[in-house]
Structure 1
């Protein structure tokens, strides 16, 4: 199927690649279907694009690239809701807030996106951990040190 995207223009996607958010995501409860597309060739930045709304797209990343000690527990009810059977079936992403210059961009560590890669069920979880904020600096070190 073809969709219009914010950053990639018209894109052909497979329906089997659509990520399902049963209850939408906070602030966008009616948006339940997203696709994850690469934003950069290095595999660090992605776009979580709404299938329905072309202008709704979030730049996301794997938080563990930037915060090696990022750690949280997902409540059993969410594990059950997403049908997670093994930790190896889980991908975690966090939404970025892009700034100019890019080095001042932030990452929302308080609300990770949990995806069960076996069934493409997903949920953005709000953590009750006061040490994680919605606007953590993305770069603790220089951006070039991340790639190395």
Structure 2
């Protein structure tokens, strides 16, 4: 299937992620494609299948925060039909800044994808340690 995208122009996609309840703020948007944004497979675009101007830049939060950890609520596990942790991949939505080093990640509401059935959901964690605008680049040390 061909779709028009925000960053890639027209592309052919083979797999569609289904957000049964949409994404918070975009509840009518239920189908997305996950497209690579960089050759190093570090950044991705979550592109709406039906709305070319709706796309989110994502990354795997474990690339920049090894200790990131949370427990999915049972309702989310059931909604995604998850059977094993091996079936799960996690992404964080980035707020891209200029300069790029100021870019932040939403660790409070990760995107959870079941790799087996392509169901996806943005879950809101009730953990105050994670923020919606977590810096992904370590602050440079000032040497005096």
Per the shorter chain, which TM-score range? Answer: over 0.9
1:21-71 alpha-carbon deviations (Å, 9 max, x no partner):
000000000000000000000110000000000000000000000000000
Is it true that 1:11 corresponds to 2:6 in the alignment?
no
Whether 2:54 is the aligned partner of 1:52: answer no
Q: What TM-score results when the alignment is normalised by the length of structure 1?
A: 0.93
Which residue of the partner structure matches residue 116 of structure 1?
Answer: 114
Question: Are 1:26 and 2:24 counterparts?
Answer: yes
* Structure 1 segments of 4+ aligned residues over 4 angstroms from their partners: none
The TM-score with structure 2 as length reference comes to 0.95
When the two chains are superposed, the root-mean-square deviation of aligned CA atoms in Å is 0.9
Return 5+ residue gaps in structure 1 as ranges.
143-148
Aligned length: 140
Partner of 1:146: none
Aligned mates of 1:112, 1:131 — CA distance in 2: 14
Separation (CA, whole Å) in 1 of partners of 2:56 and 2:28: 16
* Richer in helix (by share): 1
Aligned to 2:130: 132
Q: Distance in 2 between matches of 1:88 and 1:67?
A: 19
